[in-house]
Amino acid sequence: MNKDITILAIESSCDDTSVAVLRDKTVLSNVIASQKMHEEYGGVVPELASRAHMQNIVPVVHTALKRANVSLNELSAIAYTRGPGLLGSLLVGTSFAKSLAISLDIPLIDVNHLQGHVMATFLTENTPKFPFLCLLVSGGNSQIVKVTDYNCYEILGQTIDDAAGEAFDKCAKMMQLPYPGGAVIDKLAQQGDPHRFTFAKPHLAGYDYSFSGLKTSFLYFLRDNLKVNPNFIEENKVDLCASLQTTIIDILMAKLLKAATDFHIHEIAIGGGVSANSQLRQTMLQYGEKYHWNVHIPPFEYTTDNAAMIAISAYYKYLNRDFSSIDLPPFAKMTGEA
């Protein structure tokens, strides 16, 4: 008789302490303790983030087990985010996961954070067929990933400078909007004219992205207009947000369309924090209709950092008996390695 696979997964790569319990492919709980104190600094402060993870990890693990109605002795494996991410933050989740796996004498599974974002789409009923492309867009990454199997990835293109989420956040900061700015811009853009202003788009060959030129173009545009009208941002905020958001989405979609066409792939997914963006989600569906794509969009709660995406990635690694050794160090760099 096949025994259920029950995995407890820990995600602590940045400023969210998240723990999920997964039984086979069903999420029994997915608890996220978000750190609000970074808002006042306009970005994540690594030292504060790791200290908060240390405070949060025990209560979040307890809550996740309680909500799932699962006890420690029912667990089949412990999964954790190995990287990429902030080293101090990763160390908290990594050390906790290793200690728990040793004390329970069960396998340990390390998961690449970016693989987690790609795999979030497997938390839905309508899962993609292989091969599929995933537009992975978060605060630290913008990539087009070709996925040929659960644990088999190829990065076709990625940003050569800023990530899409960073472009949202930094342009939001220029408009004195709160951090993180992506969701704020998304909301304001809904009332604005997306074609009122135009901003620079990069002309890169291949599938790589660049957002630093757009950021500079937006900065100079604001600076020049503020010289003439000090209330320029206030008076045009919704149109600025809508035009900026449309430019970012145009840049993202152009490369995704090129990759889908060149590789003849019609199964297309998105993942990462920016995939929460309402216009991007809508645009994906429109492209799906126009280009006959099967579009896979993760549920909203699995777009930003969460442990359920780590748990589902670990589930497929568990099936392959792909366990990690206790002395595996966390990634020190922001690599795209899966």
Contacting residues toward ligand KG4, per CB under 6 A: 14, 138-140, 165, 168-169, 180-183, 186, 272-274, 276-277, 304-305
R_g of the chain, CA atoms, integer Å: 20
Cβ count within 10 A of residue 118: 28
Q: Name the residue nearer to ligand KG4 (CB basis): 76 or 303.
A: 303
Least separation in angstroms between CB 238 and ligand KG4 = 15
Spatial separation of the C-alpha atoms in residues 293 and 192, rounded to whole Å: 29
- Taking CB atoms, the residue at the shortest distance from ligand KG4 is 273
- Cα atoms in the 13 Å half-sphere on the side-chain side of 148: 6
Q: Work out how close the CB of 14 gets to ligand KG4 at its nearest, in angstroms, rounded to a whole number.
A: 6
> In the bound complex, what is the minimum distance in angstroms from residue 272's beta carbon to ligand KG4?
5
Question: CB of residue 87 vs ligand KG4: minimum separation in angstroms?
Answer: 15
What token pair was written down for 201? Answer: 């788009």
Q: Which is nearer to ligand KG4, 128 or 182 (CB)?
A: 182
User: CB-wise, 116 or 128, nearer to ligand KG4?
Assistant: 116
Task: State in angstroms the smallest separation of the CB of 304 from ligand KG4.
Answer: 3
H-helix or E-strand spanning residue 258: helix 232-263
Q: Return the percent helix, strand and coil in the chain, to nearest 5.
A: 50, 20, 35
> Distance of CA 22 to CAs 25, 76, 220, 252, Å?
6, 10, 48, 32
Between 106 and 163, whose beta carbon lies closer to ligand KG4? Answer: 163
Closer by beta carbon to ligand KG4, 168 or else 331? 168
